[in-house]
Amino acid sequence: MQHFEQSVYNLIVETSTNLPGDVRKAIQAAQEAEDRATRAGLSLSTIATNIEMAECNVSPICQDTGMPTFVVHTPVGANQIVMKQQIRSAIARATKDGKLRTNSVDSLTGANTGDNLGPGTPVIHFEQWEKDDIDVRLILKGGGCENKNVQYSLPTELEGLGKAGRDLDGIRKCIMHAVYQAQGQGCSAGFIGVGIGGDRTTGYELAKQQLFRRVDDTNDIPELAQLEDYVLENANKLGIGTMGFGGNVTLLGCKVGVMNRLPASFFVSVAYNCWAYRRQGMLLDAATGEIKSWIYPSGTDTPMKSAAADAAAEAVSANAERREVVLNTPITEEQVRSLKVGDIVIINGEMHTGRDALHKYLMDHDAPIDLNGSVIYHCGPVMLKDEEGWHVKAAGPTTSAREEPYQGHIIKKFGIRAVIGKGGMGPKTLAALQEHGAVYLNAIGGAAQYYAECFKNVNGVDFMEFGIPEAMWHLKTEGFAAIVTMDAHGNSLHADVEQDSFAKLAQFKEPVFN
């Protein structure tokens, strides 16, 4: 097994940087289903560009490489203790090489281990089987989509859908509600795995296991095959769309599994996965640990149709009311108040990253620099340092909703004019934008390579004690494009889409399955 650790390292790199062919085909079909001259169409073209860039750069598709989760099938007699040690070693090496973000955080102290190792990290599941080869599979599921996982206990009452009972129709309602409640915050268009039955723990495990299925497979259980087809067709009628911008494609795949349950319990567990559906597997020679074959089709067999620049031009020209506005930092209140929902904004100058730790700190402390007129980017980048200094390797947006308790106060306190993230924010932030003259810009979730290209220099960094993702990076920016989705006039695209999708949800109240 002298090659096992290197094979695992190769698996990590392949999973992080190259989407498999079945996922690419689903995204390509979504592109064809959307009008390119729309926000959703522009987003999908940007996603396609990002996929190609990640493959060419051999860099993370999305900066949030999640909690690495391995499922390993071994022949009887395989030394799982040594294999676990080598998996951990491969994880640490891949992190050092910038293929994984430093994501392992002490739950009590908040300290980042810096190598993705720690209690419970990475997750490794071993199972024996009677075959001679070793099967190793890996999924990298980021925190944004992990936070949109949801579990239902039947019977229950669901907003917009009414009572969900302990039957196939109740399960159907739960899945539809799970897609609705995500509202694009898990970087839609996405994929879902569903686990029916089990207990609270095994239900979620079953749901995540479904994400290892191929996108184009057919469920062996006829009732579940019918359910999967129904959900995939009808979830796209909710109008949530890519990134929650509205549109024809909200869901790219639905896979459902079932297990027995206790008489007193009936759980429906849903594991939501973003469009950056990073899972891969390999079959290894049990004697040497060398790779014999990849489990999922190669991503290089399905080149993406990437034309983000052309799509952006079409999106602007197709709608006279949608403008492209170039802003150089620092930004004035007058410039911000001239913006409105739907505008495409191009930012040049310095911007600053800020996530949970920074926002919490700034509530009670001064900022290390003058933030008046500045741009805060909700981002936890992948950074590498060499003899020339720090370099941005991946830098897509993180989910902004987590900063809702802080954002309005920080806008007021420091004079921030623009906040960039994904998924939108709530009423407190919207009120602060209107009162103090600021704007929320939605970047394309998961497009970590596309945005990393916009950062030409690292001007400095503060709060490295928070860890690389949570530190405050000061970045020189050129041509950073995002869409105004919350303006200084009280308008919110996210609130509008949620209201519209809730109205559409009601059409799925009536029974479908006998």
3-state secondary structure 112-145: ECCCCCECCECEEEEEEECCCCEEEEEEECCHHH
User: In angstroms, rounded to a whole number, what is the distance separating the alpha carbons of residues 179 and 497?
Assistant: 13
Are 231 and 512 spatial neighbours (Cβ–Cβ below 8 Å)? no
Q: What is the pLDDT of residue 257?
A: 98
Selection from 23, 300, 12 nearest residue 137 by Cα: 12
Q: What is the pLDDT of residue 1?
A: 87
Pair type for strands 344-353 and 375-377:
parallel
- DSSP-derived letter for residue 391 is E
385-400 pLDDT per residue, tens = 999 999 999 999 999 9
User: In angstroms, rounded to a whole number, what is the distance separating the alpha carbons of residues 141 and 118?
Assistant: 18
Q: What is the pLDDT of residue 53?
A: 96
What's the average model confidence in pLDDT over 411-430?
A: 97
Pair type for strands 69-75 and 123-129:
parallel
What's the average model confidence in pLDDT over 239-250?
A: 95
CATH number of the domain at 320-498, please?
3.20.130.10
The identity of residue 46, as a single letter, is T
Please, which pLDDT band fits residue 36 given cuts at 50, 70 and 90? confident
C-alpha dist (Å) from residue 131 to 127, 228, 282, 283, 284: 12, 30, 14, 11, 11
Selection from 314, 272, 304, 126 nearest residue 188 by Cα: 272
Structure token pair of residue 23: 């996922």
User: In angstroms, rounded to a whole number, what is the distance separating the alpha carbons of residues 268 and 146?
Assistant: 16
Q: What is the pLDDT of residue 300?
A: 67
264-304 pLDDT per residue, tens = 999 999 999 999 999 999 999 999 999 999 999 987 666 66
Is the pLDDT at 235 greater than 90? The verdict is yes
Selection from 111, 84, 105, 116 nearest residue 5 by Cα: 84
Is the pLDDT at 314 greater than 60? The verdict is no
Is the pLDDT at 312 greater than 50? The verdict is no
For CA atoms 175, 181, 186, 190, the dihedral sign is positive
In the chain, pLDDT over 70 holds for what percent of residues? 96
User: In angstroms, rounded to a whole number, what is the distance separating the alpha carbons of residues 118 and 363?
Assistant: 30
Q: Angle at CA 408, nearest 5°, toward 402 and 412? A: 145
Selection from 267, 266, 233 nearest residue 250 by Cα: 233
State the pTM of this model: 0.93
Strands (E), 418-471: 418-421, 439-442, 455-462
- DSSP-derived letter for residue 457 is E
Pair type for strands 251-258 and 190-196:
parallel
Is residue 394 classed as helix, strand or coil in its secondary structure?
strand
User: In angstroms, rounded to a whole number, what is the distance separating the alpha carbons of residues 480 and 451?
Assistant: 7
Q: What is the mean pLDDT of the chain?
A: 94
427 cis-preceded (ω within 30 degrees of 0): no
330 cis-preceded (ω within 30 degrees of 0): yes
Q: How many CB atoms lie within 10 A of CB 267?
A: 24
Q: What is the pLDDT of residue 320?
A: 40
In the chain, pLDDT over 90 holds for what percent of residues? 93
Please, which pLDDT band fits residue 313 given cuts at 50, 70 and 90? very low
The residue extents of the domains of the chain are 1-141+280-319, 143-273, 320-498
